[in-house]
Structure 1
Amino acid sequence: MSASVESGGSRRADAQRNRERILQAARELVHEPGELKLNAVAKACGIGQGTLYRHFPTREDLLAEVYRRDVEDLVAAAPRLLEQHRPPAALAAWFDRVAAYARVKRDVFAAVEAAMWRDLAAHSLGPIGEAVELLLAAGRSDGSLRADAEARDVIVLISWLTRLDDAELDARGPRLFSILVDGLRARA
Structure 2
Amino acid sequence: MRLAIEIVQLLIQSADTWLFEETLSGLSDREWMALRFLARANRFSRTPTALASFLGTTRSVASQIAAVLQSKGLMVRKPSAEDKRSIALCITGEGERFLERDPINALRDQLVSLELPDRSRLRDTLRHVLDGLDAGKRRHRADVCSQCVFLIESGAGKERSFKCRLFRKPIREKETTLLCTYFEGRS
TM-score, shorter chain, exceeding 0.5: no
TM range (shorter): under 0.3
The structure in which a higher percent of residues are strand is 2
After TM superposition, the score normalised by the length of structure 1 is: 0.27
